Amino acid sequence: VIESSLTTVSNQIAAEYIKSFPTFINVPCSKLGVNYGLVSDPVLTESHMTIGVAGQVYVNSPSESQPVTPAVEMPSWNATGTENQIYLSEYTINSAAYAAAASGMAHILVTPSMIPANIPFHLNTQQLNGIIPGFTAKYGSNQPCDLSIKLVEPAPKLSITPKGISGTMNGIFEIFVTQKDGTQQSALTLNLEAEVSGSLVIAKNKIFPTFKNATFTEVTITQTELANLKPSLVKQNMNIMLMLMRGFISEQVFSAGFPLPAPTGVSYKDADGIFFDGY
């Protein structure tokens, strides 16, 4: 009885102490914030402490409504697992994806100088013409191009299963051509829907993404300066390019991995990422 009472008191003290921490943080230089408020009281036992937090990424306010499926129930502790365990649900991933798309932050402008020399594709009218016919006829050969990529709503919807991560993404591709007089013109705007899948491996204090597959399922031309352009041909050729580039992206872009935060005393030497249904 005394032991049970002490455990109860310890849990209450831990809960009150942790509740005193800030529960929101704004992401610098952005409209985004992270809600890591408690979703349940911390549980303190002889072997471990379990803390459940919201894991919500939001735009402007944590009270905003998000079209994101609530998190699945996750285990509090795996007694046969490692010393430090972090469970991340697909809710957090989709919340972040929605916030990035809704805020307009999921936008990148790719210029010719950003493409490494060893990649077998470059942003110019000659190479784009092989995928989207009409560029050389309209603008001539080897004129540099910029590619604007933006994720839009409906926001990316990703699912986690024991096989990895998969889902759908919606985006806008816009291609700008630098003409011979130095001015830029928007040559083509596409609305795209894609299915993607991949996985993650943790090793040597780094996280290594694995790019398994990506397929454009819908391609809609919303604006173009190119003549007689057929969406079905654009879709077909873009999927061929993705298939050819998949191995190269995995080997050249993802092979170096991305460093994980390494606080003092924390090592990822024996770390591993394991996928379950929903987390």
SS (H, E, C) 7-55: HHHHHHHHHHHHHCCCCEEECCCCCEEEECCECCCCEECCCCEECCECC
* Statement: residue 219 has pLDDT above 80: yes
Residue keyed to tokens 């890591």: 36
Q: What gap in Å lies between CA 94 and CA 82, rounded to an integer?
A: 26
* Range in 79-88, 95-104, 184-193 with the lowest mean pLDDT: 79-88
What pLDDT is attached to residue 5?
46
Average pLDDT over residues 214-229: 93
CA dihedral 242, 256, 87, 166 (to 10 degrees): 10
Q: Helices (DSSP H) in the chain: which residue ranges?
A: 2-19, 90-103, 125-129, 135-139, 231-248
* Statement: residue 10 has pLDDT above 70: no
Reported as a single tens digit per residue, the pLDDT across 121-136 is 889 999 999 999 999 9
Q: What is the value of pTM for the model shown? A: 0.75
Largest CA distance in the chain: 85
* Statement: residue 221 has pLDDT above 80: yes
Band (pLDDT 50/70/90 cuts) for residue 222 is very high
* Residue 211 identity: F
Task: For residue 154, say if its preceding peptide bond is cis, omega within 30 degrees of 0.
Answer: yes
Q: What gap in Å lies between CA 127 and CA 123, rounded to an integer?
A: 7
* Residue 234 identity: V
Q: How far is CA 136 from CA 49, 130, 140, 241, in A?
A: 63, 10, 4, 19
Residue 110 forms beta bridges with which residues?
A: 147
